[in-house]
Amino acid sequence: MANALITGVTGQDGAYLAKLLLEKGYGVYGLIARRGTDTLWRLRELGIEQQVELINGDLTDLSSLIRAMEKSQASEVYNLGAQSFVATSWEQPLLTAQVTGISVTNMLEAVRIVNPKARFYQASTSEMFGLIQAEKQDETTPFYPRSPYGVAKLYGHWMTINYRESFNIHGSSGILFNHESPLRGIEFVTRKVTDAAARIKQGKQQELRLGNIDSKRDWGFAGDYVEAMWLMLQQDQPDDYVIATGRTTTVRDMCKIAFSHLGLNYEDHLAIDPKFFRPAEVEVLLGNPAKAKAKLGWEASTSLETLITMMVDADMRRVEHE
Ligand code: NDP
Ligand code: GDP
């Protein structure tokens, strides 16, 4: 069976994708960056820590990526590693450019040098649409990124297309809209809300401080979205696909779903804090996943209500046991 290399294997999507590929019988290799703290908790929660072959390396270090390609003998490469938090990208714009942008070229170069026949997936994002140029965004909608993160991702997106056109690399780019899960990083708004709801319910926190609760996102479940990544690399031809649910919801209504699941009224606990407003905001995102449905046979199968209640339940258990 084939081997796959995942960068960002310790992140939300990396963990779900590793599980999916293991279930399909792949030998799964994951690039792991040196950190002062334990980053394997997600792989542990999914019960696959021992099954993923970890390779030390960093996306900013081309030589380590070449070694990872050699060691893994991967025929499929999923480039999920990034500085992925939009708010941080204004505080560390140059690091974000290096890790989220330039590093895509590092990974593409490693593929080109070691195994140019390997199939490559790039984790592009709806943040590239930013100040939206169409009510529903699809593969033909012009981009207008609104953060250093969005700008860096746009560079990686175009480099993937460029290596496809220049060197015939089987590079596909998934333009994924926001996707969440119980394994979502705590800094992202859904997880911040579900964690706070659980703490408030258990008397361990009094209030929840948020920024712009009028902004709207097209939120799906990460477990569904990693299936789309795999499907893209099974196609004869590489291409770009929007992956979304086709429904958009305000942060406010998402809070309502989370709190009411626990019998709470979010308005009793919410405080608006200017600290969480962004220098430039992406007010609304709404994807049109018609191409993914037609060509990949993919569609989102988890509703926002199911997703948020799943996250709240997981946080209730975590908070109870800490
Ligand atoms: P996470 O933030 O959960 O994971 C990011 C991963 O990148 C982590 O494993 C992190 O490692 C790794 N990483 C960061 N810097 C480096 C580095 N210098 N070298 C090697 N690895 C590094 O992101 P998600 O799983 O949510 O997202 C996966 C990808 O998809 C990202 O590229 C993200 O930008 C993109 N995306 C995500 C969306 C979403 O809604 N989740 C939407 C659209 C795109 P460590 O744990 O050690 O920090
Ligand atoms: P993003 O779409 O990748 O930026 O995902 P986030 O989950 O970080 O943010 C989604 C939306 O929630 C953005 O419009 C944020 O401005 C908004 N938001 C409002 N309050 C907060 C907050 O306290 N934290 C975060 N992360 N986002 C918030």
Q: Which amino acid is at 237?
A: Q
**The one catalytic residue among 149, 163, 225, 241:** 149
- What is the β-pairing status of strands 220-221 and 216-217? unpaired
* 155 is annotated as an active-site residue: no
* Token pair for 307: 């997703």
* Token pair for 151: 């700008």
d(CA 138, CA 153): 17
Q: Which domains does the chain have, with CATH numbers?
A: 3-179+219-243 (3.40.50.720), 185-217+248-285+302-320 (3.90.25.10)
Q: Cβ(301)–Cβ(259) under 8 Å?
A: no
What does 276-296 look like in DSSP terms, one character per residue?
A: G--SS---B--B--HHIIIII
Q: Cβ(312)–Cβ(198) under 8 Å?
A: yes
- Give pLDDT < 70 ranges for the chain: none
**Ligand 1 pocket residue status of 179, Cβ below 6 Å:** yes
Q: How far is the CA of 8 from the centre of ligand 1 (A)?
A: 5
**The one catalytic residue among 26, 29, 96, 127:** 127
Q: How far is the CA of 194 from the centre of ligand 2 (A)?
A: 13
Which ligand minimizes its atom distance to the CA of 273? 2
Q: What is the pLDDT of residue 135?
A: 98
Q: What is the pLDDT of residue 34?
A: 94
Q: From residue 68, how far is each of 30, 32, 49, 98, 167 by CA, in Å? A: 9, 10, 18, 19, 21
* 127 is annotated as an active-site residue: yes
Pocket test for ligand 1, best of 80, 106, 176, 221 (most atoms within 8 A of CB): 80
d(CA 235, CA 321): 44
Q: What is the pLDDT of residue 311?
A: 99
Q: What is the pLDDT of residue 41?
A: 97
Which residue minimizes the CA distance to atom 10 of ligand 2?
A: 189
Q: What is the pLDDT of residue 1?
A: 79
Which ligand minimizes its atom distance to the CA of 213? 2
* 125 is annotated as an active-site residue: yes
Rounded to two decimals, what is the model's pTM? 0.98
Sheet containing 53-56: which strands, arranged edge to edge? Answer: 53-56, 27-32, 3-7, 76-79, 119-125, 170-176, 240-243
